[in-house]
C-alpha cells in the first residue's frame, strides 16, 4: 500500500522523511522537483522507493498533460492540493504493473543519456564561443 502526505511547502522548512516537491503555480504546474522551490507542494513518504515511485508517477502525469485539466485561474494558472493528491491516489495502481516498471527504468536511462548530451552541447557551445572570440575583429 502506498502511503504519503502532501502539504504546502513553506520556504526554509526542512523535512526528515523522503520527499520531493510538486510545482503548483504557472504553466508547469505539476512538475516534480527534487530540490525545494517556491509555490510548491511537498510529498513525504515512508521509504525512498515510494518517493521514487511517486516522483515518476508525477512526471508521467505531467508529460501526459493530466494536470492541465485541473488548472484554475486566468492570469496565473494553479492547481489545488486536493486535485494533485486525488490524481496520485487514482493513478498509483498503475505503478504495480510490470510493463510500467520497465518503462520507468527505460525513462531513467534516457534521462542519463539526455544529461550527457546536454553536457556535450554545452561544451560545444563554449568551444564555438572561444573560437569566435579568438578572431581579431576591430570595434
pLDDT of residue 85: 92
Q: What percent of the chain has pLDDT over 90?
A: 47
85 and 102 assigned to the same domain: no
The mean pLDDT value for 74-83 works out to 92
SS3 assignment, position 7: strand
pLDDT score for 108:
83
Q: Give the cell for residue 88.
A: 496520485
d(CA 137, CA 46): 61
Q: Specify the pLDDT at position 71.
A: 93
Query: How much is the average pLDDT of 65-89?
Result: 91
Question: Which tens digits make up the pLDDT trace of 106-136?
Answer: 888 998 999 999 999 999 999 999 888 888 7
Kindly state the helix (H) or strand (E) to which residue 99 belongs, with its residue range.
helix 98-133
Q: How confident is the model at residue 1 (pLDDT cuts 50, 70, 90)?
A: low
- Domain count within the chain: 2
96, 111, 126 — which closes off a domain? 96
Cβ neighbors of 117 (< 8 A, separation 6 or more) are none
Contact 60, 97 (CB under 8 A): no
Closest CA to 15 of 43, 37, 40: 43
Question: What pTM was computed for the model?
Answer: 0.76
In this structure, the answer to whether residues 66 and 13 fall within a common structural domain is yes
Same domain, 9 and 56: yes
Q: In terms of domains, do 38 and 89 share one?
A: yes
Report how far residue 42's alpha carbon sits from residue 23's, in angstroms, rounded to the nearest whole number.
Answer: 9
* CA–CA separation, 81 and 79 (whole Å): 7
Shortest CA distance to 30 belongs to which of 64, 72, 69, 59?
Answer: 59
Amino acid at each position: 500500500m502506498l502511503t504519503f502526505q502532501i502539504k504546502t511547502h513553506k520556504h526554509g522548512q526542512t523535512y526528515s522523511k523522503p520527499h520531493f516537491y510538486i510545482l503548483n503555480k504557472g504553466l508547469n504546474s505539476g512538475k516534480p522537483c527534487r530540490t525545494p522551490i517556491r509555490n510548491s507542494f511537498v510529498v513525504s513518504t515512508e521509504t525512498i522507493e515510494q518517493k521514487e515511485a511517486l516522483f515518476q508517477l508525477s512526471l508521467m502525469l505531467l508529460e501526459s498533460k493530466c494536470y492541465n485539466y485541473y488548472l484554475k485561474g486566468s492570469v496565473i494558472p494553479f492547481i489545488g492540493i486536493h486535485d494533485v493528491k486525488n490524481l496520485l491516489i487514482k493513478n498509483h495502481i498503475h505503478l504495480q504493473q510490470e510493463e510500467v516498471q520497465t518503462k520507468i527504468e527505460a525513462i531513467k536511462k534516457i534521462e542519463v543519456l539526455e544529461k550527457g548530451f546536454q553536457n556535450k552541447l554545452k561544451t560545444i557551445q563554449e568551444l564555438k564561443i572561444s573560437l569566435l572570440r579568438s578572431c581579431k575583429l576591430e570595434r
